[in-house]
Amino acid sequence: MYETGRHPVTLLFFSVMAFALAIPTYGMSIVLVIPPLIQMKTARYMVTNRRVLARLGFFRPRLLSVKLEDVVEASLGKGPLDAKFGSGMIVLAKMRAMYRFKGVRNSEAFLSHVKQARAVRVP
């Protein structure tokens, strides 16, 4: 019985091809992973006695504001990874619009503050 390994040129070809495919794959993963991480780290969510505010963005932050008197329902959404990272999605429903604040850290406490502020604000 005769056994042999692969020809070195064949190994070189496959290693060059694997490397050529790995560079764009890693580049795309950086492009797809880094912006959500920046958004997650720089997002700030606040509850005042009149509004729920969200400051989103790093280079050009934008401010979203929802009046508490217009909020009809406030709820919490959690995905499978949210429980692991201790975050969640707060959903504020108005009569004609719905606001989803994703990646809110300590989302249960945030939701309780929103409901508490609504109870004080709305008779």
pTM: 0.67
Integer Cα distance of 4 and 114 in angstroms: 70
Say yes or no to pLDDT of 116 above 60: yes
In the chain, where are the structural domains located?
Answer: 1-42, 44-123
Residue with tokens 């993963």: 29
pLDDT in tens, 42-84: 788 888 888 888 888 777 888 889 998 888 999 998 888 777 7
Fold classified for 44-123: PH-domain like (2.30.29)
pLDDT in tens, 80-93: 877 777 788 889 99
Neighbouring-strand partners of residue 87: 105
* Cβ neighbours for 42, distance < 8 A, ≥ 6 positions apart: 56, 57, 58, 61
